[in-house]
Amino acid sequence: MRALVTGTSGFVGSAVARRLAADGHDIRVLLRPTSDRRNLDGMDAEIVEGDLSDPQSLKAAVKGCDSVFHVAADYRIWVPDGGASMYRANVDGSRELVRAACDAGVSRFVYTSSVAVLYPLPGTEVADEAATASVGDMVSHYKKSKFLAEEAVMELVREESAPVVIVNPSAPFGPRDIKPTPTGRIVLDAAKGRMPAYLDTGLNAVHVDDVAEGHLLAFDKGEIGERYILGGENLSLRDIIQTVTDYVGRSGPWLKLPRAPLYPVAWAAEMLARVTGREPVVTVDALRMAEKHMYYSSDKARAKLGYAPRPAREALTDSIDWYRENGFLD
């Protein structure tokens, strides 16, 4: 198989590419000229330069490939430009890549969506693929862009028979989160003793390598037009922080923060960020997302794909080990 993989400079994309390479597949990766390429170290892959905002570069990237794993996305909680660049990459770019793949005769396309497009249920209830939402339910530009992107991809499945299978990863942890992502920052801050307090919220934590494995299972066994949640274990934020601090030998979180008083802090942080250009330490959208426990079930992927994620503790400890080995905890 000759596979095009997007997003390989990032966290999940590099894991997918490495998993494909381990099976002996020919890998082509699409990178912007300015992309950080450290996650490609040691990987045998053909590099083509292009951008999701450049349809011609996408046509060149898919030429000669029989499969596509579209993992790339603009993933930020705070977007200072009103989200325009994020929508171009996540929505328009995904639509154009699926079209280019169809024109090139690609037989299978795995699109990496997110559990962010699903409707989180009240309290600690667990949502699955049937937890449908509307764009009005999306509380951040990232969530809205991923929701609209999945809608655009599904429209191409219905109207142009695009051979797309959708996967919806939850919150990945593990090695090679070089940016780091918002979830990676939780691990780093907790490992450095910077999270003595917590909010009453939760995440579905999954090992990034299990997410990568889920992509290949979806390629092999997934049904066109279906979505599959690739998750791990539902944990409260307090339990995630406690797992990290226990592993590194620090004191765990002890102060439960009320959410309401933090909103003025977030508004002020965002106003300051617009002046300084530095990302705010807390955002309004992040607080709004934390109002619900983002718990999800991977039962469909387990039953239909044979997906079998490892315990979340391994994802968190592997993340800490990688950060320590690469100087992030110095």
pLDDT tens digits, one per residue of 279-308:
887 888 788 777 888 999 999 999 999 999
Q: Is the dihedral of CA 19, 25, 31, 34 positive or negative?
A: positive
Between vectors from CA 203 to CA 280 and to CA 184, what angle results, nearest 5°?
Answer: 50
Between vectors from CA 92 to CA 105 and to CA 211, what angle results, nearest 5°?
Answer: 70
pLDDT digits (tens, 9 = 90+) for 180-194: 998 999 999 999 999
pLDDT digits (tens, 9 = 90+) for 36-83: 999 999 999 999 999 999 999 999 999 999 999 999 999 887 787 778
CB atoms under 10 Å from CB of 262, counted, come to 17
Predicted confidence at residue 236, as pLDDT, reads 96
Predicted confidence at residue 185, as pLDDT, reads 92
Q: Does 251 map to a domain?
A: no
Q: Does 140 map to a domain?
A: yes
Q: Does 110 map to a domain?
A: yes
Q: Does 299 map to a domain?
A: yes
Q: How confident is the model at residue 217 (pLDDT cuts 50, 70, 90)?
A: very high
Q: If you compute the radius of gyration of the chain from its CA atoms, what whole number of angstroms results?
A: 19
Predicted confidence at residue 55, as pLDDT, reads 94
Average pLDDT score over residue span 203-214: 98
pLDDT digits (tens, 9 = 90+) for 73-125: 998 877 877 788 899 999 999 999 999 999 999 999 999 999 999 987 888 89
Predicted confidence at residue 110, as pLDDT, reads 98
Q: Does 135 map to a domain?
A: yes
Within 8 A by CB and 6+ apart from 327, the residues are none
Q: Does 306 map to a domain?
A: yes
* Percentage with pLDDT > 90 across the chain: 78
| pLDDT tops 90 at residue 259 | no
Segment holding 202, helix H or strand E: strand 202-207
Q: Single out the residue of 76, 164, 185, 66 nearest to residue 113, CA to CA.
A: 164
Predicted confidence at residue 251, as pLDDT, reads 94
SS3 199: coil
Predicted confidence at residue 122, as pLDDT, reads 82
Q: Is the dihedral of CA 313, 315, 318, 320 positive or negative?
A: negative
| pLDDT tops 90 at residue 25 | yes
Predicted confidence at residue 146, as pLDDT, reads 96
Work out how many domains the chain is built from and give that number: 1
SS3 26: strand
Predicted confidence at residue 280, as pLDDT, reads 80
Predicted confidence at residue 248, as pLDDT, reads 97
Cβ atoms of 12 and 69 closer than 8 Å: no
HEC letters along 69-91? EECCCCCCCCCCCCCHHHHHHHH
Q: Does 273 map to a domain?
A: no
Taking the C-alpha atoms of residue 315 and residue 302, their distance in angstroms, rounded to an integer, is 18
Q: Does 240 map to a domain?
A: no
Q: Any idea what the CATH number is for the domain that residue 113 is in?
A: 3.40.50.720
- The listed range with the strongest mean pLDDT (33-42, 230-239, 257-266) is 230-239
| pLDDT tops 90 at residue 271 | no
| pLDDT tops 90 at residue 131 | yes
Predicted confidence at residue 112, as pLDDT, reads 98
| Owning domain of residue 112 | 2-173+206-234+295-310
CB atoms under 10 Å from CB of 323, counted, come to 22
Higher local confidence (pLDDT), 273 or 46 = 46
